[in-house]
Structure 1
């Protein structure tokens, strides 16, 4: 079984099942992960908050909290474009321009990131990748801090969260349009409060999430309580076995040589499949 918390497509030649962000398949081999279910459920309590209370004490404009710059360039570009309008506080290690009182290595980083975001009206909540259904905790912690998330990453994010409660960068044709929308809301207190008054998740989204979690638990229970021969899904034969053996051997490489050897391994495998090219 393959379990991934990042934006990577499943490789069902190597594994019988995959737990990740991809939609379930007809054969039951793709299980949709719901590891953020309990954290998302906390968003229900925010709907009763008075927007005036949410705005109280917010003396910061926008935060940017990332430990490295290896993610998709969109979020760095967003930081740059938005900083031309007003200072964006980079609290993490990447592009740092503001002291961080809670280190990334803190025991409860999720709670810590909420505290760091609380003094701000907006939070840059961009994923490290563009990938369908890949939504992590970044938008949730931004909601919990009573900020307006500026989200990018999962183009289907509005299936999970109320589009009136955050700024979905996927709705805009350029970064300049995104910044213009942030500026419009920033300069109109009533607009910001209206977004804060919106439920972060709609009833149908919460209901569907519960259904997904129940289905996931049932499928997982079935897999681990059934005889192996009944739940085995991988194929067996010449190319599938060669493929698995090939990548199993390559995955035992020492870390310092991983990149060079894996690149070479992929070229070698490509030559095996397409000897004429």
Structure 2
């Protein structure tokens, strides 16, 4: 088995519950992977500029709503529906990592959703709670916050994350927490075509009816008969009305739960095989032929310096936010102050 020298920046490639691990797992089936500070191939995301210090084949991956810069990276793995020769592969984050708790990974069941779930009335009886909301990031699209408030006017929405927590503290197991609920709010951090993360995936794995907002093309992959696509309604009031209708009609709820999760022709197992083929195509080329960034060295240096400046600004903003959060910590339980802090951070884009 051929040995390849790999570097993973931004995440721990040796941690099986890290975003960086799926690449390593795929490669280890075909190569002996050696982690090295003198790599032939480097995987990196947007959280680090360490990759700028290496001269090797660079592969970008992201779990965020951003586009790859092919002036800096030879290859990219992203959310984008795009073709760029052999340099890009669309592999949404729900295909990489869904749960980060070992127990959740073991108990999630069939994440390929090959067959409809046999959801029965006895399963419905076990749904003792109405709707879940598990988030920690408040620096997102206002849609998530707005919908939480509107749905909460109908019934209590249990917030199990650090943001808007109302269950006595963050839950340990997202899967087990959501399983108790009939519905779950599955709103992305922001909205654009192709940007589908693990949020709807987690909600489906937990046997809830997801209330989804984010990717306008979500219906190309997931069967809209199995979830509530909030983007198809004129406003959130209409979405809440649909939730009420389903909540108050057990037969309708059961019918939705018995729907196929994926549309005809969607095969996650094949997607993973294609992803492995994409990686093998990169590795199996002669190393000196695998590079794809071929621009004027002086121009490349400008791109790299710009990237360093952008990351420096981003890091300063992050550190400033952490400093303010530390000073604010004693006052965190004062709801009005919490709302003011969140509004301020959003306005300052911290």
TM-score (normalizing by structure 2): 0.65
**Distance of aligned partners of 1:59 and 1:252 in 2 relative to their CA distance in 1, 3 Å threshold:** closer
Of 81-90 and 222-231, more deviation after overlay is shown by 222-231
Partner SS for 1:121: strand
**Distance of aligned partners of 1:100 and 1:243 in 2 relative to their CA distance in 1, 3 Å threshold:** same
**Match in the other structure for 2:79:** 21
Q: Aligned partners of 1:79, 1:181: CA distance in 2, in Å? A: 15
Give the CA deviation at 1:180. 1.1
Q: Aligned partners of 1:254, 1:130: CA distance in 2, in Å? A: 24
Contact 2:93 2:198 in 1 (8 A): no
**Match in the other structure for 1:145:** 206
* Residues 21-40 of structure 1: pairs in structure 2 closer than 5 A: 21-33=79-91, 36-37=94-95
**Match in the other structure for 2:29:** none
TM-score (normalizing by structure 1): 0.81
Partner SS for 2:130: strand
**Distance of aligned partners of 1:130 and 1:257 in 2 relative to their CA distance in 1, 3 Å threshold:** same
Give the CA deviation at 1:228. 3.4
Q: CA RMSD in A?
A: 2.5
Q: Deviations over 1:183-226 (max 9, x none)?
A: 111111111111011121234112xx344322221121111121
Contact 1:43 1:144 in 2 (8 A): no
**Match in the other structure for 1:154:** 215
**Match in the other structure for 1:82:** 151
Give the CA deviation at 1:251. 6.0
Partner SS for 1:47: coil
Contact 2:223 2:263 in 1 (8 A): yes
Q: Aligned partners of 1:199, 1:53: CA distance in 2, in Å? A: 20
Q: Aligned partners of 2:73, 2:190: CA distance in 1, in Å? A: 23
Q: Aligned partners of 1:149, 1:128: CA distance in 2, in Å? A: 15
The structure 1 residue matched to 2:181, chosen from 85, 101, 120, is 120
Partner SS for 1:165: coil
**Match in the other structure for 1:220:** 279
Q: Aligned partners of 2:318, 2:170: CA distance in 1, in Å? A: 35
Give the CA deviation at 1:41. 4.6
Give the CA deviation at 1:36. 3.4
Contact 2:220 2:263 in 1 (8 A): no
Contact 1:34 1:213 in 2 (8 A): no
**Match in the other structure for 2:322:** none
More helix by share: 1
The question of 1:205 aligning with 2:266 is answered: yes
